[in-house]
Amino acid sequence: MSTKPTKISLPLQLTFLIFSMVLNCMGIVILQLSQEKIGFDKLGFLESFKDLPIAFISLFAVNFISRTGTKKSLILALSIVGFCSLILPFAQVFWFYKLWFAIIGTCFAIGKICVYGIIRNNFTDQKSLAKTMNSVEAAFMVGIFVVNVVFGSLIASQYSEYWKFGFFLISLISFFTIFLFSKAQIIETDKNLKTSIASHLRSFNKTPILLFFAITFFIIFTEQSFNSWLPSFYKNHLKVNSFFAIQASSMLAVFSYIGRIITANVIHRFSLLKYYFLCVLMIIIILCSIFLSQYFSSGNSDVPLFLFPVIGLFLSPLYPLINSKMISQIDNQKINTFTSVIVIFSSLGSAVSSILMSLLFENQLLMYYSLYILAAVMILFALSFLYFKHHSQKN
């Protein structure tokens, strides 16, 4: 069976767009619920209801996907997301948000494994794989932008009390994407091949792979510090209104999208090593500039308003760059298991980041917001240095 990659690129991008919207509405939910007198300590653990199911379900999802097929599994996950987005606007109690994010997290675990598996099986050479990976990850940034613009506009309008009905748009896109997948032909891993998760996991017990998982953890750790908490930081520390606070995340997503689009077009012209570390160093420079501006101006500087979104330009390429490099080296039979471990470390990075960030908010230590993120980026730099050094020695 053959397939045209161009025909599956759009539904793959829409899939990440959808999951981006339901995952990154967290910042809006935190902002809105915090105004309903729900403490940041409770809101900080809300993200764990999304991330921990992602971690726990990932390995179990591998066998389910292997038996059911990536296409059917992905359609099932999108169907659940579409249905859940239809009913969320009618929720009136806090515990339902916990349940909703747990379901969304489970669907994302299945969805991401399926998407990575489809990319690995349908894009054979490393160039097309890296380009597709960047375009799909870029769609994730578009999702952040769209969800913040849509919900931000609703919140700022005279219909602000109906902001939750913006989830109807997510439901509509979900059902449209299901339609596209139902018409697409996709090359899948042979179902007759037995999936031995234990043996696959043992094969990942190598220094470069373990370093890769640690790098993934800290990249997502850093990203989530922005995606879920930047609106609340803008409103609570920089004292801007809710609409502007939400649009800060939109601008972060715009710069992130631009960063991934640029990466997709220049990745073959520059050294991966130099490009990667240039991005990391630029993040460090910007974060240092933000902290110094706040420190010397007693926290009244407007510099963070404009510099925080620019970080997305350099932060966004890191994840697809390191992912495409490693995934291209993994056997097709092991890709689902490998992706599930990526999902586990990503979700743990997100959950830990949100819990620590909630402590900063709860204890009113927002002056150190940029310094906290800078510490994570420094660790990321050190891990990345070890990872690329090991690869250079091996080659």
Lowest-confidence segment of 139-148, 164-173, 378-387 by average pLDDT: 139-148
CB 221 within 8 A of CB 376: yes
Lowest-confidence segment of 59-68, 108-117, 124-133 by average pLDDT: 124-133
Q: How confident is the model at residue 1 (pLDDT cuts 50, 70, 90)?
A: very low
Instruction: Say how many domains are in the chain.
Output: 1
Structural domain includes residue 193: no
CA 100, distance to chain mean position in Å, is 18
Averaged over 342-346, what is the pLDDT?
85
22/61: higher pLDDT: 22
Does pLDDT of 209 surpass 90? no
Lowest-confidence segment of 286-295, 313-322, 357-366 by average pLDDT: 357-366
| Amino acid, res. 265 | N
Averaged over 346-373, what is the pLDDT?
83
* Residue 166, domain extent: 9-187+198-394
pLDDT at 362: 79
Residues 6+ apart with CB under 8 A from 132: 5, 9, 12, 119, 123
254, 250, 253, 279: which is closest to 266 by C-alpha? 279
Structural domain includes residue 192: no
Torsion angle of alpha carbons 171, 177, 178, 181, nearest 10°? -170
**Helices and strands, number each (H, E), in the chain:** 17, 0
Structural domain includes residue 284: yes
Most confident of 155-159, 346-350, 376-380: 376-380
Distance CA 140, CA 319 (A): 12
Q: How confident is the model at residue 59 (pLDDT cuts 50, 70, 90)?
A: confident
Does pLDDT of 88 surpass 60? yes
**Cα 167 to Cα 17, 150, 161, 171, 250, distances in angstroms:** 13, 9, 14, 6, 17
pLDDT in tens, 117-157: 888 777 766 666 767 777 787 888 888 888 888 888 888 78
Distance CA 140, CA 253 (A): 9
- Mean pLDDT, rounded, of the chain: 82
Q: How confident is the model at residue 364 (pLDDT cuts 50, 70, 90)?
A: confident
Structural domain includes residue 372: yes
Distance CA 381, CA 375 (A): 10
pLDDT at 385: 92
Structural domain includes residue 387: yes
Structural domain includes residue 367: yes
Q: How confident is the model at residue 314 (pLDDT cuts 50, 70, 90)?
A: very high
Averaged over 165-177, what is the pLDDT?
93
Structural domain includes residue 236: yes
Q: Which domain CATH number covers 264?
A: 1.20.1250.20
pLDDT at 176: 95
pLDDT at 350: 83
Structural domain includes residue 380: yes
pLDDT at 178: 95
Distance CA 89, CA 111 (A): 23
Does pLDDT of 98 surpass 50? yes
Give me the residue label for tokens 């009244």. 300
pLDDT at 393: 61
Distance CA 104, CA 385 (A): 35
pLDDT at 112: 87
Residue 158 has φ and ψ, to the nearest 5°, of -70, -10
